[in-house]
Amino acid sequence: MGNEAPIGTGGNWELRGVDLDVLFAQDDLSEAALSAAIRASAKFNTSFPGWFLYRRVANGTTMFDRELEAWAVGCGQALAAAEKQNGRRWVSGAVRAKAGWIEQASRDALDYVIFGRYPAGLNARASHFGVSNKTYQAIRDPMSRCMWIGLETFRSVLFAEYWQVRRDENYPTPVSAG
């Protein structure tokens, strides 16, 4: 009993050795990867650019930056105008009317998701636009969290779809890069 290996500790090393982010980060995607991307995208609302965001993070491609920026800004504007349960707006009308800050807070949130950090400090951004730190943060931080959750959810669905496509189509096991 002392030197015996536990039963069932092996696992499938072919699956464990595969880094799907590396497979999806390649410039030339396999048929299985493209099929998985299409299938994963179909599971989300058409207004969510999950594939564009994932490719930006995984591959670094800037091809979809305009679409991502427009999406982020639109979401930030919608959040700012949203009504809380108490009937008040997320951000008051007078503060929402100040030019440019909601758009910049939304872009800052997108930068956080793509690069892992904000491009500028909270105090500097808020003071530049003449809004309070808490007001600027009321857009930037929830937007960052929501976009991050969206990216991670898309990534999970993408990976699940990849394995499903491989299972359905009997694709060969990929070789991990490295």
Q: Yes or no: say if 39 and 161 are a contact pair by the CB < 8 Å rule.
A: yes
The phi, psi pair for 89, rounded to 5°, reads: -75, 155
* Among 86-90, 96-100, 106-110, 159-163, the least confident range: 96-100
pLDDT value of residue 9: 45
Classify the C-alpha dihedral 105-110-115-117 as positive or negative.
positive
Average pLDDT over residues 88-106: 88
Q: Is 45's pLDDT higher than 90?
A: yes
Residue scoring higher pLDDT (169 or 125): 125
pLDDT value of residue 134: 94
Q: Is 45 helix (H, G, I), strand (E, B) or coil?
A: coil
103 — pLDDT class (breaks 50, 70, 90): very high
174 — pLDDT class (breaks 50, 70, 90): low
5 — pLDDT class (breaks 50, 70, 90): very low
Q: Please give the distance of CA 142 from its chain centroid, rounded to a whole number.
A: 13
Q: Is 162's pLDDT higher than 50?
A: yes
The phi, psi pair for 83, rounded to 5°, reads: -100, 130
pLDDT value of residue 6: 44
pLDDT value of residue 12: 46
